[in-house]
Amino acid sequence: MNYDLIVVGSGPGGYVAAIRASQLGLKVGVVERAELGGICLNWGCIPTKSLLKSAQVYEYMKHAGDYGLAVEGEIKPDFEKVVARSRGVAEKMSGGIQYLFKKNKIDVINGFGKLAGNKTIEVTAQDGSKSTYEAKHIILATGARSRELSNLPQDGKKIIGYRKALTLEKLPKSMIVVGSGAIGSEFAYFYSTMGTKVTLVEFMPTILPIEDEEVSKQMGRSFKKNKIKVMTHSTVESVEGVEGDLKVNIKNKKGEMEVHECEIVLSAVGIAPNTEGIGLEEIGVATENGRVVVDDYYQTNIEGVYAIGDIVKGPALAHVASAEGICCVEKIAGMKVEPIDYTTIPGCTYTVPEVASMGMTEKAAKEAGYELKIGKFPFSASGKASASGANEGFVKLIFDAKYGELLGAHMVGANVTEMIAELVTARKLETTGHELIKAIHPHPTMSEAIMEAAAAAYDEVIHI
């Protein structure tokens, strides 16, 4: 069957691209070898948020007395049910994609897709049978997987990646998490809250190393408060043992070797793009450092072949892949499209407290030569945060002193992942610091801290 568009992969890049293309009148097929929705819906974003919500509710229950509530009897997690709930949420979301595909008349082609010449996809089904499909346009949206280190090979039992961490059969007594990006930090928080003794090992000087330094330091303090042992400037050199606890050899910040014992090692050292075996070399698609080279509209060097999401340069985030998919198909459909502005991409980490950021860090802005106005407002001065019992953290805004342009926003605190969109919109609309100050924010809300942080940058802050 011939298509206007075939999308290889049904993650948040692929399925969104397919639906938007169908809305624009294209006949669309999607090739998927596993569950609809890809890693994000099934083994990433969605099930992890379910686990984290269970941890948050458990934490609330343990501190019910702080809110004047008496809870009788012992409060303890049922780990098996927590995991089962997260799987149920993921399955429901994947089913939702099935519904959307049917609604938009999108064909699902089950199997492993591979470029097979001029505008042709070869699909290998689970039984090994092969079929070929033709399309005027082909979008590769094959996503990524957990990256493995040579000295930390994953066996899926004692040394695991994020996927196995979602479905452990029982709560481990101890765990070493290697890597403190969003994935590592979220699992460190979850397992620590559930009762696991957690050590977080990070090669860089701070945890969450891509975040603003002040945010990283605040999260380090919060993790230590939650009894997570944080080791920065440290590396896991090797792991020994098969039965019983593992012996993990860690080189600390002083260059000294420490031996730590744990039940499970979780490797969270980033992701690797799924570009192997999909026919890139055979038809001559250009790659660089393992990722597909594309233009501003995700066209590769081969006419009619496009790539989006984790297999191209840029932040490996679900919402980025979705935006790239929409941009790509709208360009294919002949619409006038603006290239994506990657300086407005928000990043979120769903620990407690949460982290959300957009744009330049203070260090990056200074290195770029800007003269800065920086405003910071602590949630300890927020009435809503105090009433909620969640006054850790702050909002930090970075402005260009000359024109008042918002260069960056960095937040740590309760619900900040819901607040960052305001600042993405503000930057997109070229809103100035003074305009943020004059935009009336509702009281009492956590979002007032945005207005107050802007006011702090211009020495107009009221509440600190």
Check: CB of residue 379 under 8 Å from CB of residue 363: no
180 is in an annotated binding site: yes
How far, in whole angstroms, is CA 22 from its chain's centroid?
27
111 is in an annotated binding site: no
**Which two tokens mark 202?**
């990070």
392 is in an annotated binding site: no
**Which two tokens mark 365?**
């802005």
Rg (the chain; Cα; Å): 24
155 is in an annotated binding site: no
202 is in an annotated binding site: yes
Q: Which helix (H) or strand (E) holds 164?
A: helix 162-165
113 is in an annotated binding site: yes
413 is in an annotated binding site: no
Enter the DSSP assignment of 238. E
Whole-angstrom distance, CA of residue 199 vs CA of residue 220 = 12
Per DSSP, the three-state class of 409 is: strand
Active site residue 443: yes
Q: Please report the beta strands in 173-224, taking only residues with DSSP state E, as ranges in sequence order.
A: 174-178, 197-201
Strands of the sheet containing 394-400, edge to edge, are 346-349, 354-359, 406-413, 394-400, 372-378
Q: How many CB atoms lie within 10 A of CB 348?
A: 18
128 is in an annotated binding site: no
181 is in an annotated binding site: yes
186 is in an annotated binding site: yes
Whole-angstrom distance, CA of residue 31 vs CA of residue 5 = 11
Q: Which helix (H) or strand (E) holds 461?
A: none
Which candidate in 63, 137, 410, 443 is catalytic?
A: 443
Beta bridge partners, 397, equal 375, 409
Q: How many CB atoms lie within 10 A of CB 352?
A: 18
Whole-angstrom distance, CA of residue 283 vs CA of residue 276 = 13
174 is in an annotated binding site: no
Beta bridge partners, 347, equal 357
389 is in an annotated binding site: no
65 is in an annotated binding site: no
Binding residues, as ranges, are: 49, 113, 179-186, 202, 270, 310
Binding residues for NAD(+), as ranges, are: 179-186, 202, 270
Binding residues for FAD, as ranges, are: 49, 113, 310
Catalytic residues: 443
